[in-house]
């Protein structure tokens, strides 16, 4: 897709307020995309777009996963997320969803690469998961709002994901799995490819075993990935967090949202107390809270507290 300068389409009202188009002059543009022979000209992102500038790792696999595969992918994602990696996947059923959930479990960042516009969700049953991903990361797509999940869009989705990550871990993939397409595109982009072994007669592992025969790194636990890729630059991440925390946040253009932001801190402020202080009506107050949540600027703490996010990227 090509969008001439100044001609990027605006998101319609059905897309969350924090959705926006990114190009390579944006500070949140993924560094690895700049190394590609043909980088994406633009992507539509929704959520905490700063996650894209951090070290990303893909975890993908079959939609028809076994309970063992789902548990392994979720645990692997949780451990690698806790180590500092941004877990990236395709929001599909099975292994993809387990990978996103593992990152959410760890309180880490996760990125969903979509084959639809950002106003859609495929599968539709994952719209709740998508909302969680956007609250703890973001969704990205090359497609305009309103674009349906056509078959060839998934290949473009795979290409976008493969270029974004430092490596791809394939968990349970039959020989015709779309996850293998992502792995091969990652290999072509110079990324590391990992595969999780399984029973030698298991059809869901044929693709993984083929990758291992071709030289993919064998993964039985998170440490096997970290031995190859290492830990992200935590010092750099901390410096980046401090810089973003000091910057003026991208507040929604809403009076109640701005009023609330001025009275919140990372430790939390009582929602009921804020409501008593708010000079407007209940409807305006709820709209303000909702606008801040959709923008990824606040989160809820136990005890009815609302708190600023320490990092708002």
pLDDT tens digits for 151-185?
Answer: 999 999 999 999 999 999 999 999 989 999 999 99
Query: Is 296 in contact with 309 (CB distance < 8 Å)?
Result: yes
Query: What's residue 266's pLDDT?
Result: 64
Helix-then-strand count for the chain, H and E: 11, 12
pLDDT < 70 positions in the chain: 1-18, 233-250, 266-267, 310-313
Query: What's residue 8's pLDDT?
Result: 36
Q: What does the block give as tokens for 156?
A: 């473009």
Cis omega (within 30 of 0) on the bond before 123?
Answer: yes
Query: Is 21 in contact with 12 (CB distance < 8 Å)?
Result: no
Half-sphere exposure of 127 (CA within 13 A, CB side): 8
Query: What's residue 267's pLDDT?
Result: 63
3-class DSSP state for residue 48? coil
C-alpha closest to that of 43 among 103, 101, 113, 129: 113
Euclidean distance between CA atoms 199 and 174, whole angstroms:
12
Half-sphere exposure of 154 (CA within 13 A, CB side): 14
Element (H, E) at 131: helix 127-135
Euclidean distance between CA atoms 243 and 26, whole angstroms:
16
Query: What's residue 152's pLDDT?
Result: 94
Query: What's residue 243's pLDDT?
Result: 44
Query: What's residue 241's pLDDT?
Result: 46
Supply φ then ψ for residue 103, to 5 degrees: -65, -40
Which stretches within 83-216 are classed as H helix? 95-105, 127-135, 151-164, 178-188, 206-213
Only one residue has tokens 């028809």, namely 64
pTM reported for the whole predicted model: 0.71
> What structural domains does the chain harbor?
20-232 (3.40.50.450), 248-308 (1.10.10.10)
Query: What's residue 2's pLDDT?
Result: 33
Strand partners, 305: 270, 301
Q: Are strands 137-141 and 43-47 parallel, antiparallel or unpaired?
A: antiparallel
């Amino acid at each position: 897709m090509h969008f001439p300068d100044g001609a990027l389409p605006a998101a319609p009202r059905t897309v969350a307020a924090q959705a926006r188009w990114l190009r390579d002059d944006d500070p949140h543009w993924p560094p690895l995309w700049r190394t590609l022979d043909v980088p994406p000209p633009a992507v539509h992102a929704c959520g905490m777009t700063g996650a894209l500038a951090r070290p990303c790792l893909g975890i993908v696999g079959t939609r028809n996963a076994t309970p063992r595969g789902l548990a392994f992918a979720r645990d692997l994602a949780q451990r690698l997320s806790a180590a500092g990696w941004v877990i990236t996947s395709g929001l599909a059923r099975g292994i993809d969803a387990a990978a996103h959930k593992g990152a959410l479990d760890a309180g880490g960042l996760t990125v969903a690469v979509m084959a639809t516009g950002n106003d859609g969700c495929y599968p539709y049953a994952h719209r709740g998961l998508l909302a969680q991903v956007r609250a703890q990361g973001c969704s990205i797509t090359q497609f305009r709002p309103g674009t349906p999940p056509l078959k060839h869009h998934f290949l473009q989705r795979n290409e976008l994901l493969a270029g974004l990550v430092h490596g791809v871990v394939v968990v349970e993939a039959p020989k015709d799995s779309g996850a293998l397409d992502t792995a091969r595109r990652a290999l072509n982009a110079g990324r590391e490819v990992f595969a999780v072994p399984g029973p030698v007669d298991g059809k869901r592992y044929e693709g993984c075993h083929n990758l291992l025969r071709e030289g993919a790194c064998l993964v039985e636990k998170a440490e096997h990935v970290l031995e190859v890729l290492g830990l992200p630059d935590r010092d750099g991440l901390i410096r980046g967090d401090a810089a973003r925390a000091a910057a003026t946040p991208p507040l929604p253009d809403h009076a109640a949202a701005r009023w609330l932001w001025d009275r919140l801190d990372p430790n939390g402020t009582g929602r009921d107390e804020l409501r008593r202080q708010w000079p407007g009506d209940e409807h305006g107050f709820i709209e303000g809270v909702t606008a801040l949540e959709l923008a990824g600027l606040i989160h809820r703490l136990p005890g009815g507290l609302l708190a600023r996010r320490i990092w708002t990227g």
